[in-house]
């Protein structure tokens, strides 16, 4: 009898699964989540609201209403539309499906968000990663050369980047956009913590799309991403979106959060404040380098990333060892900004683990 595994694609069998670390009982600072939970009063209000949702029905006009609310929240330019996805991951897959012509290529700086490459690979597109500089800036000549050579259907530019947490030079981004023959997707997953957004420049280029998510906003468990672009372009991409891809519970949670923006704005400000405190505390330690951050995480280089990761984990603090993701990340760990109490525990564990 033939082995049923032989039915699967060889490249899929050769892949490594996306691993989620077990964080049971740990201070969880490995996944760039908002550490703040809803107050008991808001939990009760949300619970009552979700209890009234018609779970027996497919999503309906409420999803369209969510698009309208998100459009108002983002300040959607005239003539632009919006696609909803089950997190940014689904948006990335939808773009790959829509652009999957023979020989199509996806291009992005590396190290970067792993789903750009994974989404391309799973949908049969080529992926070209262009290394950043040693200080994690865009290598503009290398990017332009790669664009000229590969003529990518999609170029991803994270703003700020993951896992490096930095914003790239605006002039470099403009050069890359001008050179790109296909779509350019500006990924603003960490916009709530950033000092800049590309939104006010979006209308300059008809081939530029803006991708955001509510995960870092504070709804990582809800899984809701969205893509902004010229309406004609969005209409075509939206054709490959599965019907009912956003559940009624996702939709209602998002509407609830957007009705309480002031709560999440306070949380984002607290995270930015804590980011500055943690960065300063880490930056004075011998043998430690901390990169500037416009996200809710810090990229930190230590003498021995494995030792630091294991030492902190043994002390009940979980961070992300990114040192094996790319040669430029040698001996780097990525630390999510937590609550003030969590950050104190993290700093204590870090100091005894370097």
Residue 304 and residue 345 in one domain: yes
Q: Is residue 45 situated within a structural domain?
A: no
Q: Quickly list H helices, the chain.
A: 10-14, 40-51, 61-74, 87-98, 114-122, 140-150, 170-179, 231-237, 248-258, 261-283, 305-314, 340-351
Which neighbouring-strand residues pair with 333? 300, 321
Pairing of strands 80-85, 317-318: unpaired
From first to last of its 354 residues, what are the pLDDT tens digits of the chain? 788 888 888 888 887 777 778 888 899 999 999 999 999 999 999 999 999 999 999 998 899 999 999 999 999 999 999 999 999 999 999 999 999 999 999 999 999 999 999 999 999 999 999 999 999 999 999 999 999 999 999 999 999 999 999 999 999 999 999 999 999 999 999 999 999 999 999 999 999 999 999 998 899 999 999 999 999 999 999 999 999 999 999 999 999 999 999 999 999 999 999 999 999 999 999 999 999 999 999 999 999 999 999 999 999 999 999 999 999 999 999 999 999 999 999 999 999 999
- 183 and 241 housed in the same domain: yes
Q: Is residue 270 part of a domain?
A: yes
Q: For residues 87-110, b (16+ Cβ closer than 10 Å) or e, as one string?
A: bbbbbbbbbbbbbbeeebbbbbbb
Do the beta carbons of residue 287 and residue 302 sit within 8 Å? Answer: yes
In a domain, residue 318? The reply is yes
* Final residue of a structural domain among 241, 258, 275: 258
For the sheet with 154-158, list strands across it. Answer: 80-85, 225-230, 208-213, 183-187, 154-158, 105-110, 126-131
Are 207 and 244 in a shared domain?
A: yes
3 by Cβ neighbours in 10 Å (0-12 / 13-18 / 19+) ranks as: exposed
CA distances from 155 to 109, 126, 183 (A): 9, 12, 6
Residue 49 inside a domain? The answer is no
Residue at a domain's end among 223, 258, 293: 258
Residue 46 in any domain: the answer is no
Asked whether residue 232 is assigned to any structural domain, the reply reads yes
The values of phi and psi at residue 283, to 5°, are -65, -20
Q: Does one domain contain both 62 and 83?
A: yes
In a domain, 50, yes or no: no
Domain harbouring 249, CATH code: 3.40.640.10
Q: Which two tokens stand for residue 238?
A: 């939206």
User: 139 and 63, same structural domain?
Assistant: yes
What's the half-sphere exposure (Cβ side, CA atoms, 13 Å) at 341?
A: 3
- C-alpha distances out from residue 134 to 110, 138, 149, 169, 242, Å: 11, 10, 23, 15, 41
Q: Which residues contact 52 (CB under 8 A, 6 or more apart)?
A: none
Range of the domain at 322: 4-40+262-351
Structure tokens at 61: 């006009």
Q: Give the domain-ending residue among 258, 285, 311.
A: 258
Residues 78, 36 share a domain:
no
Q: Do 272 and 212 share a domain, yes or no?
A: no
Does 51 reside within a domain?
Answer: no
Domain count, the chain: 2
195 shares a domain with 67: yes
Over the stretch 137-168, which tens digit does the pLDDT of each residue have? 999 999 999 999 999 999 999 999 999 999 99
Q: Are 333 and 185 contained in the same domain?
A: no
Tell me, yes or no, whether 86 and 224 share the same domain.
yes
Q: Cα dihedral sign for 95, 97, 102, 105?
A: positive
- Least Cα distance to 184 among 165, 164, 198 occurs for 198
The answer on 170 and 199 residing in a single domain is yes
């Amino acid at each position: 009898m033939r082995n049923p595994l032989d039915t699967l694609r060889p490249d899929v069998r050769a892949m490594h699964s996306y691993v989620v670390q077990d964080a049971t009982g740990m201070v969880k600072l490995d996944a760039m989540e908002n550490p703040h939970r809803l107050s008991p009063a808001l939990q009760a209000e949300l619970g009552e609201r979700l209890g009234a949702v018609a779970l027996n029905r497919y999503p309906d006009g409420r999803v369209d209403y969510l698009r309208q609310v998100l459009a108002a929240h983002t300040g959607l330019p005239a003539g632009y539309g919006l696609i909803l996805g089950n997190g940014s991951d689904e948006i990335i897959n939808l773009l790959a499906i829509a652009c999957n012509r023979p020989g199509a290529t996806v291009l992005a700086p590396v190290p970067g968000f792993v789903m750009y490459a994974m989404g391309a690979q799973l949908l049969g597109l080529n992926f070209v990663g262009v290394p950043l500089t040693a200080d994690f800036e865009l290598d503009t000549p290398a990017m332009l050369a790669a664009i000229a050579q590969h003529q990518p259907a999609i170029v991803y530019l994270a703003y700020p980047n993951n896992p490096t947490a930095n914003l790239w030079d605006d002039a470099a981004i403009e050069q890359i956009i001008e050179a790109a023959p296909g779509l350019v997707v500006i990924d603003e997953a960490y916009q709530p913590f950033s000092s800049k957004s590309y939104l006010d420049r979006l209308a300059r280029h008809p081939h530029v799309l803006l991708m955001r998510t509510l995960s870092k906003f504070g709804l990582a468990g809800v899984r809701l991403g969205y893509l902004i672009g010229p309406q004609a372009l969005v209409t075509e991409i939206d054709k490959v979106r599965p019907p009912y891809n956003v559940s009624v519970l996702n939709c209602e949670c998002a509407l609830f959060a957007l009705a309480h923006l002031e709560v999440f704005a306070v949380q984002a400000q607290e995270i930015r404040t804590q980011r500055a405190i943690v960065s300063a505390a880490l930056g004075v330690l011998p043998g430690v380098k901390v990169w500037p951050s416009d996200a809710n995480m810090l990229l930190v280089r230590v003498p021995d990333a494995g030792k630091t990761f294991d030492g902190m984990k043994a002390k009940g603090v979980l961070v992300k060892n990114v040192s094996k993701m790319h040669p430029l990340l040698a001996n780097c760990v990525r630390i999510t900004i937590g609550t003030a109490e969590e950050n104190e525990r993290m700093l204590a564990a870090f100091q005894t683990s370097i």
